[in-house]
Amino acid sequence: MSQAPHPTGAVANSPAALTNALPSYLDPNNLGPWGIYLQQVDRVTPYLGNLARWVDTLKRPKRTLIVDVPIHLDDGSVAHFEGYRVQHNTSRGPGKGGVRFHQNVTLSEVMALSAWMSIKNAAVNVPYGGAKGGIRVDPRQLTIGELERVTRRYTSEIGIIIGPTKDIPAPDVNTNEQIMAWMMDTYSMNEGSTATGVVTGKPVDLGGSLGRREATGRGVFTVGVEAAKHTGMDISTARVAVQGFGNVGGVAGKLFAEAGAKVVAVQDHGGTIYREAGLDVPGLLAHVARTGSVAGFEQAEAMADDAFWDVPCDILIPAALEQQITHANAGRIQAKMVIEGANGPTTPQADDILHDRGVLVVPDVIANAGGVTVSYFEWVQDFSSFFWSEDEINARLVKIMQDAFAAVWQVADANKVSLRTATFIVACKRILHARDLRGLYP
Ligand code: NAD
């Protein structure tokens, strides 16, 4: 059949050229977090076999919403903030991912974080796609009333695409249980009925789950134990160094210490402490709860922050911020294993250095997936209005993390690739297999 001439007289591009053109939102001179994610997908594409024909699905967010969030400030003036909700992929289920309130949030960052949620959710095989949201606002500059109004107006604006079966937000940087309660209430008011399942990370009295607060640290510990089994490391005699002693690092440190490991060094925003014989972790947690930092803990030596990277240890757990392990310190790290509690703590350059030095890196997309796994349990409990015991939740969490780690280890071993690449292979295959089974509409 001959094709009708193009109405503008243009010559039609080939499908490949049409699909592969750089997306309009990407600056070729500064790829940013989304560009880094695209490079990660390119790296695993050769391992995807037949499914590689669907790979462009992973390189475009399914849906990107930018919203204006105007609120009355307490002084009566009006301020506008920019908000985002990105649904990267929903092939395996509804979108799922946190909401970040930060003055430096960008669309590129939210897009990348939404894509990493697709990878994380597929890696642990929970039935979700990936999504993420954010508002460009410094919440510390807002009063509590202003914070509530920003949260509610943002929720109302993104209400057209979220929902318990569509996309389920959760806490992230600078958002917490209270903000989830306001989001749940706003969505429910607009819907006319209480919809607890629209967000996770809620207070337990509002349909939140037991075990959620400890879940990410427990997941970090679980994959650490699994990795140690595969590498012949004895956890009960291992020396552990932890950066960040908050929700993730504090819980992971406590669980390693309970298993007999010696937590020899801890760094947080206030300073770095060291004790060769092992720190008293319960005592340190109490000190942090009292003072806000590990600094000044009496039964330890204070140490220069930069010396943290030279500490003799077997396991290093970055559980604070992104881009902490860089080309500048990766060569100094003594650990045999790095377990990424934080999101994106290792730069791609540092990743290569650690790989070449034989240091095993358990990547964030699997190591810190315990949080989203218990968020999934919360959502299931909300749907059935039947709540599980903490023991039951922890047992199910451990099983999911163990199974996920085993699948990733097997792929890494078979393909002689890093655990990060293996996690991407496992996750991308699951997402694209779902894409393949569903086919293309229309
Ligand atoms: P948190 O706020 O409870 O703790 C953060 C810790 O990092 C604190 O101890 C803080 O002092 C420390 N820190 C801050 N700045 C630092 C610096 N410059 N140097 C050293 N330490 C510093 O946060 P969290 O919930 O434990 O999250 C930590 C990381 O884990 C983040 O990257 C987060 O995105 C990631 N993460 C958290 C969860 C979760 O469920 N909480 C899930 C997945 C990933």
Mutate to test the pocket of ligand 1, among 117, 126, 140, 216 (most ligand atoms within 8 A of CB): 216
Minimal-distance CA residue to ligand 1 atom 43? 368
Rounded-to-integer distance, Cα 68 and Cα 130, Å: 23
Q: Which two tokens stand for residue 51?
A: 């499914």
pLDDT in tens, 236-270: 999 999 999 999 999 999 999 999 999 999 999 99
- pLDDT of 348 reads 87
Residues 54 and 231: their CA atoms lie apart, in Å, by: 35
Grouping H, G, I as helix, E, B as strand and the rest as coil, residue 242 is strand
Mean model confidence pLDDT for the chain: 94
The residue written with tokens 């994959």 in the block is 223
Per the model's pLDDT, the better-predicted residue between 425 and 35 turns out to be 425
The pLDDT value recorded for residue 35 is 85
Q: Which of 96, 120, 132, 336 is catalytic?
A: 132
CA atoms of 305 and 242, how far apart (whole Å): 12
Structure tokens at 435: 């894409």
Average pLDDT (434-440) is 97
Instruction: Say whether 217 sits in a helix, a strand or coil.
Output: helix
Residue 166 near ligand 1, beta carbon < 6 Å: no
97 three-class SS: strand
Residues with Cβ within 8 Å of 425's Cβ and at least 6 positions away in sequence, in order, are 44, 47, 48, 411, 415, 417
Q: 188-218, pLDDT tens digit by residue? A: 999 999 999 999 999 999 999 999 999 999 9
In this predicted structure, what is the pLDDT of residue 19? 56
Give the closest residue to 261 by CA, choosing from 232, 245, 240, 289: 240
- Scored b (16 or more CB within 10 A) or e, 264-285 reads bbbbbeebbbbbeeebbbeebb
What are 40-49's pLDDT values in tens digits? 899 999 999 9
Query: Ligand 1 centre and the CA of 322: distance in Å?
Result: 9
User: Same fold for the domain at 61-194 and the one at 214-320?
Assistant: yes
**Which residues have a Cβ under 8 Å from the Cβ of 284 and sit 6 or more positions away?**
245, 253, 263, 266, 273, 294, 297, 300
Burial 309-334 (b: 16+ CB within 10 A, else e): bebebbbbbbbbeeebbeeeebeebe
Ligand 1, residues 174, 268, 284, 308: which to mutate, most atoms within 8 A of Cβ? Answer: 268
pLDDT given at position 3: 46
Give Rg (Cα) of the chain: 23
Confidence of residue 30 (pLDDT cuts 50, 70, 90): low
Residue 14 pLDDT greater than 80, yes or no = no
CA of 129 to the centre of ligand 1 (A): 24
Across the range 167-174, mean pLDDT stands at 94
Rounded to the nearest angstrom, the distance between the alpha carbon of 52 and the centre of ligand 1 is 35
Q: Give per-residue pLDDT as tens, 306-361.
A: 999 999 999 999 999 888 999 999 999 999 999 999 998 998 889 999 999 999 99
| 3-state class percentages of the chain: helix first, strand second, coil last, to nearest 5 | 50, 15, 35
Does the pLDDT of residue 9 top 60, yes or no?
no
Global confidence as pTM: 0.92
Q: What percent of the chain has pLDDT over 90?
A: 89
CB 332 within 8 A of CB 316: no
Q: Does domain 61-194 have CATH number 3.50.50.60?
A: no
| Nearest residue by C-alpha to atom 6 in ligand 1 | 244
Token code pair at residue 152: 């509610």
Cα of 345 vs centre of ligand 1, distance in Å, is 10
Burial of 258 (0-12, 13-18, 19+ CB in 10 A): exposed
What is the phi-psi region of residue 316: left when phi exceeds 0, alpha when psi lies from -120 to 50, beta otherwise? beta
Distance, first Cα to last Cα, the chain: 21
Query: In this structure, which topology does domain 214-320 adopt according to CATH?
Result: Rossmann fold (3.40.50)
Q: How far is the CA of 98 from the centre of ligand 1 (A)?
A: 14
- CB burial of 413-442 (b: ≥16 within 10 Å; e: otherwise) equals eeeebbbbbbbbbbbbbbbbbbbbeeeeee
pLDDT at 126 over 80: yes
Active site residue 132: yes
Report whether residue 320 contacts ligand 1, using a CB cutoff of 6 Å.
yes
Confidence tier at 164 by pLDDT (50, 70, 90)? very high
Angle at 261 between CA 260 and CA 264, to 5 degrees: 135
Residue-wise pLDDT for 289-300, tens only, equals 999 999 999 999
The set of residues, in sequence order, having a beta carbon less than 8 Å from that of 236 and lying 6+ positions away, is 259, 260, 261
* Residue-wise pLDDT tens digits, 374-433: 999 999 999 999 999 999 999 999 999 999 999 999 999 999 999 999 999 999 999 999
Q: What residue spans define the domains of the chain?
A: 61-194, 214-320
In this predicted structure, the answer to whether residue 2 has a pLDDT above a threshold of 50 is: no
* Phi, psi for residue 91 in degrees, rounded to 5: -60, -35
Residue with tokens 């942090």: 288
